[in-house]
A and B are shown apart, each in its own frame.
Chain A
Amino acid sequence: MERDDLSEANEAVTTTIDTTLLARAWVHAHEEDHDGMQVFRPLGTQLPPSRGRRVIDLSTPEVMTGLAPGADDRPESFHRAWTIENDVLRIRAVAASEQRFRISRLASDELALIRLSS
């Protein structure tokens, strides 16, 4: 929450983001974070050892693959949807696929569904 407010307050000068530059895998260089900014470097950059680092891969349009520290400290992969609007990077949970059903019958002891094509 606080982070969103902060970035909106720091309204950047109209920036066009070079999406070809953005389209790569980035690793969180948390040692370089400052003033509410999270700093990422291209994956492969030599960084000091760390308890764990976040990796976000933006090389595929709309689908983000990432790595985050797992429960036992080894990295685990995750997936998100991403879009870019002006200079705002939006990251969302991957939308669940929708199924549609018509409720054909509903009683205290029965629910009957007919699957609709989407």
Chain B
Amino acid sequence: MAVRNTPQRRCGTMAVHFSLLELYPGYRKCLTQLEHACVERRRSAPFARAKPYRINVVVHVLYNNEKENISDAQIKSQIAVLNRDFRATNSDRSKTPAVWRGLVSDSQVEFVLATKDPDGKKSTGITRTRSSTTSFAIDDNVIKKTKSGGKDAWPTDRYLNIWVCALSGGILGYAQFPGGPSWSDGVVILNTAFGTSGLAKAPFNKGRTATHEVGHYLNLRHIWGDTEDCSGTDFVVDTPNAEGPNYGSPTFPKVSCSNGPNGDMFMNYMDYVDDAAMFMFTKEQTQRMQVTLDGPRKTLWNATT
């Protein structure tokens, strides 16, 4: 097992592009089917759900020293943020510029720490694993393998798996889109960008990294469409076209890609701004997540766990 303890970028290694789409044929097929389903849903009349989607969560804490063995309180603070953000009960949503206030959307997704483990035994929904790895690489999924010093996922069709650890590569987390390999499904979050207390460190101490990553997990794309010009798309109509990621805490309006006068919707959870500067999903993003939850992630909230 490779132990990587330098937190800075390693050019050669990082350039190895891990392309799931090429390695795993079912992935592309699933994503294509989802695109079709989204188009269908857009055509049909909007309907209000009778009750929210409720997702069982397991948090896998990986630690190399006691300090990294984050507290239950830090974990619970993260679950609370997810519930506020995905139900649009976060108080900072009021900062949304007036022009977009009507788009702020309740995704109807709720998160609860699992009360039973995969064998049906009583559980806190938290696993804790000491590892000799001081900092997990972001390109090898070692963190998701018990054999390699990480922690195997709980059945990913029934639980949202969240791994929390020290990460190399300087990023705050990463996700897996729907339809990928089941053993690695879930999101990985840096322990200092998780929740609102304990190790959480400004400007990423409002739990929004997990909100962003779970957005990907439910098939949301970055609002700039993942190209560095204006050609990319997030497959969502009610987020303006944007050139690239926004950072820090921008001032409204910030114009790119001829999207004036209102400019980029940088306060969307799917941009790259600081935690305190993001506070909304749109209606179409909600629709996209719900299509995913009614499709490939259906077993997640139908589970009896």
Contact = CB atoms under 8 A, between A and B. Distances in A.
B272 A71 contact: no
A11 to B, nearest CB: 23
A106 B17 CA distance: 43
B150 to A, nearest CB: 16
A2 interface: yes
Contact of A71 (B169, B170, B177, B255): B177
A109 B5 CA distance: 64
Contact of B9 (A55, A68, A73): A55
Q: Which of A2, A45, A74 has the most CB of B within 10 A?
A: A74
Given A31-B248, A68-B228, A73-B171, A49 B11 contact: no
A25 interface: yes
Interface string A54-73: 11010000000101111111
A27 B9 contact: yes
Given A2-B255, A69-B245, A76-B17, A50 B171 contact: yes
A55 B12 CA distance: 12
Q: Which of A44, A69, A71, A72 has the most CB of B within 10 A?
A: A72
Interface in B187-224: 190, 192-193, 204, 209, 212-213, 216, 221-222
A70 B9 contact: no
Given A53-B170, A69-B226, 14 more contacts: A1-B258, A30-B248, A43-B9, A49-B170, A49-B172, A49-B190, A57-B11, A68-B228, A71-B226, A72-B176, A73-B173, A73-B216, A75-B169, A75-B171
Chain B residues touching A, majority SS: loop
B138 A69 contact: no
A13 B190 CA distance: 44
Contacts of B100: none
Given A71-B216, A73-B175, A74-B171, A49 B204 contact: yes
Contacts of B192: 49
Interface of B: 7-9, 11, 14-15, 17-18, 138-139, 169-177, 190, 192-193, 204, 209, 212-213, 216, 221-222, 226, 228, 245, 247-248, 255-256, 258, 272
9 contacts: A31-B248, A49-B193, A51-B272, A52-B272, A57-B11, A69-B245, A71-B222, A73-B175, A77-B17
Contacts of A65: 15
B9 A44 contact: yes
Contacts of A31: 247-248
Nearest to A69: B245
A50 B247 contact: yes
A33 interface: yes
Interface of A: 1-2, 25, 27, 30-31, 33, 43-47, 49-55, 57, 65, 67-78
Given A46-B8, A76-B17, A51 B171 contact: yes
Nearest to B19: A76
B247 A47 contact: no
A96 B48 CA distance: 49
Contacts of B221: 71
Nearest to B18: A74
Contacts of A49: 170-172, 190, 192-193, 204
Contacts of A69: 171, 222, 226, 245, 272
Nearest to B216: A72
Given A43-B11, A52-B272, A55-B11, A74 B139 contact: yes
Contact of A50 (B170, B176, B213, B256): B170
Contacts of A71: 177, 216, 221-222, 226
B15 A72 contact: no
Contacts of B170: 47, 49-50, 53
A67 B15 contact: yes
